[in-house]
């Protein structure tokens, strides 16, 4: 008899129902199947109405993030064999409004991402369009921010962050990490433009250093450490600005 495993998923269709419900499926167990493979099997073979996001299946696009047995995970890189012979529960990412089934609304995150201006800013705006110019960067200079370039905007850190869960105005771990990434890029001159947003009431100072964001990050961006470094940078900037004002 073929081995099987049970997957329970959240179901929600706002056009038909007001409350969330769950549905359990029994699927074939394969040692090399990811949870995303299991969801694809359900959609293809058992219930084509199941709705969720996915794209690359290589932990690059960040779109298949879901709650797996209560923990934010990328379902393409989380395997059935981690849970077998136990059961698996799949829910939409925590702390976001649910659109349908396992799909959440990321509008809030995307709006905050735009606010931090995650691109290289030059004081001379003509530099940004001048393709004839080169901005040479050493390996040491790149090392200052390279870890943060690995962020794939999967928002697992937001689903894990208790501060964001309680205070949705908090700009959140990934946005701060991407602000840090560009602030530490030797080619960028937009640090002052980002500082007001990062140091705002809903910025880095709202973080209580729980560290769950770092625990769930699939790319080891370490947003918790970045937030603390950004706090130090903003405090140092304020201190020296205060001294200048005293003169």
CATH number at residue 97: 3.10.20.30
Mark whether 133 and 205 lie in a shared domain.
yes
| Selection from 105, 92, 108, 96 nearest residue 20 by Cα | 92
Residue where a domain terminates, one of 104, 130, 155: 104
Q: What is the CATH number of the domain that holds 111?
A: 1.10.1060.10
Query: For position 213, what pLDDT does the model report?
Result: 98
pTM for this predicted structure: 0.92
Mark whether 181 and 206 lie in a shared domain.
yes
Query: For position 247, what pLDDT does the model report?
Result: 47
Q: How far is CA 188 from CA 85, 121, 142, 182, in A?
A: 51, 5, 12, 6
Mark whether 121 and 184 lie in a shared domain.
yes
Mark whether 156 and 218 lie in a shared domain.
yes
Residue where a domain terminates, one of 104, 137, 167: 104
Mark whether 53 and 138 lie in a shared domain.
no
Measured on CA atoms in the order 29, 30, 36, 41, is the torsion positive or negative? negative
pLDDT tens for each residue of the chain, 247 residues long: 679 999 999 999 999 988 999 999 999 999 999 999 999 999 999 999 999 999 999 999 999 999 999 999 999 999 999 999 999 999 999 999 999 999 999 999 999 999 999 999 998 878 777 888 888 999 999 999 999 999 999 999 999 999 999 999 999 999 999 999 999 999 999 999 999 999 999 999 999 999 999 999 999 999 999 999 999 998 887 666 766 765 4
Number of domains into which the chain is organized: 2
| H-state helical runs in the chain | 35-41, 107-115, 139-143, 146-149, 156-160, 162-166, 173-183, 191-198, 212-216, 223-246
- Name the pairing type of β-strands 98-100 and 4-11: unpaired
> Using CA atoms in the order 136, 139, 143, 148, what is the torsion angle rounded to 10 degrees?
50
97-122 in b/e burial notation, b at 16+ Cβ within 10 A? ebbbbbbbebebbeebbeebbbeebb
Mark whether 125 and 95 lie in a shared domain.
no
Spatial separation of the C-alpha atoms in residues 57 and 76, rounded to whole Å: 5
Mark whether 55 and 170 lie in a shared domain.
no
Residue where a domain terminates, one of 37, 69, 104: 104
Mark whether 84 and 130 lie in a shared domain.
no
Query: For position 1, what pLDDT does the model report?
Result: 61
Mark whether 185 and 116 lie in a shared domain.
yes
Mark whether 131 and 217 lie in a shared domain.
yes
Identify the domain containing residue 135 by its residue range: 107-246
Mark whether 115 and 196 lie in a shared domain.
yes
Query: For position 239, what pLDDT does the model report?
Result: 65
Mark whether 91 and 40 lie in a shared domain.
yes
């Amino acid at each position: 008899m073929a081995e099987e495993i049970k997957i329970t998923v959240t179901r929600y269709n706002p056009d038909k129902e007001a409350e969330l419900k769950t549905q359990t499926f029994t699927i074939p167990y394969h040692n090399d199947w990811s949870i995303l493979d299991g969801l694809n099997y359900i959609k293809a073979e058992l219930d084509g109405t199941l709705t969720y996001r996915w794209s690359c299946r290589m932990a690059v696009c960040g779109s298949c993030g879901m709650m797996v047995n209560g923990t934010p995970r990328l379902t393409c890189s989380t395997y059935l064999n981690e849970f077998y012979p136990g059961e698996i529960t799949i829910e939409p990412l925590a702390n976001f409004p649910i659109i349908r089934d396992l799909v959440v609304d990321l509008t809030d995150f995307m709006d905050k991402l735009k606010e931090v201006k995650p691109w290289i800013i030059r004081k001379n705006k003509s530099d940004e369009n001048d393709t004839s110019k080169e901005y040479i960067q050493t390996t040491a200079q790149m090392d200052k921010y390279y870890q943060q370039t690995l962020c794939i905007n999967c928002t697992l850190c937001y689903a894990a962050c208790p501060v964001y869960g309680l205070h949705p105005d908090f700009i959140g771990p990934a946005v701060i990490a991407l602000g840090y990434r560009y602030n530490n890029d030797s080619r960028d001159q937009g640090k002052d433009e980002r500082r007001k947003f990062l140091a705002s009431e809903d910025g880095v100072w709202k973080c209580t250093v729980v560290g769950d964001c770092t625990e769930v990050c699939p790319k080891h961006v370490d947003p918790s450490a970045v937030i603390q470094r950004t706090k130090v940078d903003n405090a140092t900037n304020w201190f020296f600005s205060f001294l200048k004002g005293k003169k």
